[in-house]
Amino acid sequence: MIVELKDTTTSQVGKKLVELRESGGVVALSRVLTLVVISRAGFEEDAIEAANLASREHPCRVIVVIEGRKNAKTRLDAQIRVGGDAGASEVVLLHGYGALSSADESLVAALLLPDAPIVVWWPHGVPENPAATPLGRIAHRRITDCASEKDPRAALFRIARTVTAGDTDLAWTRLTLWRSQLASVYDQLDPTQVKAVTVKGASDSPSTVLLAAWLTLCLRLPVTIASTPAGTGVRSVRFSSLGGDIELSRPHGDVAELYQPGHPVQRISLPPRELPECLAEELRRLDPDEVFGEVVRAGLPRTNLRSVRASER
């Protein structure tokens, strides 16, 4: 069910939600958090779809703040989606104009679930300092996605300058499976034999940089990035060892191949992670991601990464 409310207030939106719950049997008492999505006009549907899918694991109230034109007449248009149009959540779209065009606490305060954690997500448009934004200050977790920026790597290093407990980025979440597999591979190696590491990934991939920073921080070894064409993501990690190179490679598709001297090639399921899956993982843990904070604060500055072309390897 979709209900449109033109030139309204958040108080009226809240009353309408109660009315829908009482008259239509819409149940919202089991919601475990409030997810605030800060979007731009025309880009909100992909974020709503991801939130709806993630809500199957984490029933929540989704408030989508669509920042409108500041020079327009001040007004607030709203839309409420419940039932089949909202997954396991309630979705409230707030489209503000004029004085209401910016996302701040006063715009959403009346719609926040009482005594429930608040997560703020910027699916595009990474703020200079997420924790210092009006909604970032009241949030338990703040999720950005520097992969959606025009210059993803620059956005990642900008995040590193202001990272605060509770911040995370989906470029890091996309690495969960890679980090798990690489930890397993490294456990089987003799650390004294490994002399260097090469991470091969797309030139526009912040995940590639984060993976190299994580390896640098954990292994304290020289790490080199070999760039591949934009849009290809992380492709491989190679450990240069005195006993022969060990490489985990995912050239294409969902299956990676592990190459080890003296062993047959091992095939490992390593599919690229979709947006709803990454969002669901971040909603699963509401405590600060201390590893992410350490990687961007200490790992990135210590990498001294040098980029080389893949053809130069």
- Within this chain, do residues 57 and 102 fall inside the same structural domain, yes or no? yes
Give, in order, the Cα–Cα distances in Å from 298 to each of 100, 161, 194, 208, 292. 39, 11, 22, 16, 10
User: What is the reported pLDDT for 71?
Assistant: 82
Q: Which residue has the higher pLDDT, 307 or 80?
A: 80
| Percent of the chain's residues with pLDDT above 90 | 64
Distance CA 192, CA 68 (A): 57
- Within this chain, do residues 148 and 278 fall inside the same structural domain, yes or no? no
Give, in order, the Cα–Cα distances in Å from 164 to each of 80, 119, 280, 292. 33, 14, 21, 10
Quote the number of domains for the chain. 2
How remote is the C-alpha of 108 from its chain's centroid?
22
Among 149, 169, 189, residue at a domain's last position: 169
- Within this chain, do residues 109 and 20 fall inside the same structural domain, yes or no? yes
pLDDT > 80? residue 197: yes
pLDDT band for 280, please (50, 70, 90 cuts).
Answer: very high
User: What is the reported pLDDT for 230?
Assistant: 86
Among 120, 150, 169, residue at a domain's last position: 169
Question: What is the residue-averaged pLDDT of the chain?
Answer: 89
- Within this chain, do residues 284 and 269 fall inside the same structural domain, yes or no? yes
- Within this chain, do residues 280 and 261 fall inside the same structural domain, yes or no? yes
Among 135, 169, 203, residue at a domain's last position: 169
In the 8-state DSSP scheme, what is residue 289? -
Give the structural domain span for 271: 176-312
- Within this chain, do residues 206 and 297 fall inside the same structural domain, yes or no? yes
Q: 50-54, 69-73, 91-95: lowest mean pLDDT where? A: 69-73
Distance CA 59, CA 217 (A): 36
Nearest CA to 228 out of 200, 254, 256 is that of 200
- pTM given for the model: 0.91
pLDDT band for 310, please (50, 70, 90 cuts).
Answer: very low
